[in-house]
Amino acid sequence: MRLTGKKVIALLDEEFEDLELWYPVYRVREEGAEVHLAGLEKGKTYIGKYGVPATAEYAFDELDSKDYDGILVPGGWAPDKLRRYDQVLQLVRQMDTDRKPIGQICHAGWVLISAKILQGVTVTSTPGIRDDMENAGATWVDEPVITDGHIVSARRPADLPPYGQAFCDALAKV
């Protein structure tokens, strides 16, 4: 239970990739961390790409990054929506400034791109957004998981076991 006392935000919007949300959430909870699901609307149930629901316990505007130790951004189509919310970008930027773990998988890199925090960072993602990542100033590599400082990135659901481990390792250091 090395993460006891740690608090993490997990971002929600419609069509999140089901496994890319729930696997990391359960993984960090297994190690003792508290995870809060956050969406644009508190109490709203968002539906994943494959039909798995997740209900927002908090609205983005209720959160203060100072109260949290890390943030998880799932993939799927949700990141294309999440990156349009100023509150989300502010949370991610503040987590970056404070060097708190930021976990992103698959298309979640779009949120980090829009937050403008990838200049000089080595990352991975789904190959479909490689150009986007590189155009944002990142060095993109095709590996299951990359940890560059406090940013932990992964490509796809098959990479969830090492991604979950890497995020928990980063969170344990905070």
Catalytic residue numbers, as ranges: 106-107
Instruction: Identify the sign of the CA torsion 172, 102, 159, 7.
Output: positive
Please name which of 38, 43, 46, 40 lies closest in space to residue 67, comparing C-alpha atoms.
38
Task: Return phi, psi of residue 140, to 5°.
Answer: -100, 135
Give CA separation, 12 vs 125, 140, 143, 166, 173, in Å.
19, 25, 25, 21, 25
Rounded distance between C-alpha atoms, residue 123 and residue 118, angstroms: 8
